Structures are given as C-alpha cells and as structure tokens.
C-alpha cells in the first residue's frame, strides 16, 4: 500500500477532529427517544454528518464555482477551514461542534474538486493529467507531514494548540492566495 495514499492521509487529518469531538463530549451520553447514544456513537455520527454535507454541497458549489469563479469558491473553502479549526480550538460544546462539522463539509466540497478543476483550466492541454498528478502528489506528501507535525503538537501542547496552529497557518495560506490571485 502506498504510504502517501491521499484518502488515507485525509482520514488521518480528520481523526484530529474526531479526537477533539470525543474529548469535548467526554463521558456524556445523549438520550433521544429513550435511546442512549455514547460519546463514541455521537462522534461517529458527527463524521457521518460531515460526509453527508460534503456530498450534498459538492455539486451546488461546483455550479457556483462555474458562475462566480473557482478562485472565489476555493477561497471561501479555505476561509471555512480557518474558521472550523479555530472553532475546534475554542469550543467544547456539542451543538457548536456539529455546526463546525457542517461547515467542514462545505469546506471540503468547496476545495477538493474545485482545486483540481482550477488546475485543469490553467494547465496546458497536453500537461493536464501531469499537472493534476503533481498537485495530488504534493498534496499527499504535505498532508502526511502536516498530520505528523499536528500529532506531535497535540502530544506536546494539546489539542487547542494543534487547532490554533493549523488555523493560523491556513490563514496565512488564505492571505497568500488572496494576494497572489487577486483580481485587477
């Protein structure tokens, strides 16, 4: 199995969100219609909720990207990432965490497919597959190292530091993109 498998690495990054959710819920349980849900069940349900939001918003955001520009929707996605990670750093409230997972689903839908479409549009026709492959390779390697560093920060400084650091770095990336790809 390829060590730099992108799906596996993205799942590793999502594990930090799940760990923080489990940490925030603690040993609480939620009772709905006489059914008791443990913190593990709630955490898994939050992840399923994120995936549903991602699936439900990917197509509409692709349509919006065609109308409003890929740059604009991509920047919205990065902004949501910044907000979600800052939110995870600063909250321990289950309702807010569910809102953050909703926003995280929109972030994923606003960046994953749109980034590749954007690259496809700017690459020369004969190099399109090479450009997308290079992007995916770089994304995988960076995600691998980012998850390792995030794990080390979590182990040394805790979850709040991990999420604040990630949010801050993403903010720098957002500002770079806004300056680099601004409209004239």
pLDDT digits (tens, 9 = 90+) for 43-91: 888 899 999 999 999 999 999 999 999 989 999 999 999 999 999 999 8
Going 31 to 36 to 39 to 45, the CA torsion angle's sign is: negative
Tokens of 103: 């926003």
Q: Is 45 left (phi over 0), alpha (psi -120 to 50) or beta?
A: alpha
Return the domain boundaries, the chain. 6-20+39-180
> From residue 152, how far is each of 8, 16, 162 by CA, in Å?
19, 12, 9
CATH number of the domain located at residue range(s) 6-20+39-180 in this protein: 1.20.1250.20
Quote the pTM value: 0.85
114-138: pLDDT as tens digits:
888 888 888 877 888 888 888 888 8
């Amino acid at each position: 199995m390829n060590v730099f498998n992108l799906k596996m690495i993205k799942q590793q990054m999502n594990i930090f969100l799940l760990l923080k959710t489990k940490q925030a819920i603690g040993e609480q349980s939620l009772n709905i219609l006489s059914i008791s849900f443990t913190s593990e069940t709630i955490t898994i349900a939050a992840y399923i909720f994120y995936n549903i939001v991602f699936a439900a918003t990917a197509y509409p955001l692709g349509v919006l990207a065609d109308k409003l520009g890929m740059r604009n929707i991509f920047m919205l996605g990065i902004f949501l990432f910044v907000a979600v990670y800052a939110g995870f750093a600063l909250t321990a409230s289950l309702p807010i965490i569910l809102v953050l997972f909703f926003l995280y689903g929109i972030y994923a839908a606003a960046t994953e497919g749109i980034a590749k479409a954007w690259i496809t549009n700017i690459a020369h026709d004969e190099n399109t597959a090479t450009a997308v492959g290079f992007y995916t390779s770089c994304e995988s390697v960076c995600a691998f190292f980012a998850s390792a560093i995030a794990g080390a920060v979590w182990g040394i400084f805790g979850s709040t530091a991990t999420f604040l650091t990630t949010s801050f770095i993403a903010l720098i990336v957002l500002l770079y993109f806004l300056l680099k790809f601004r409209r004239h």
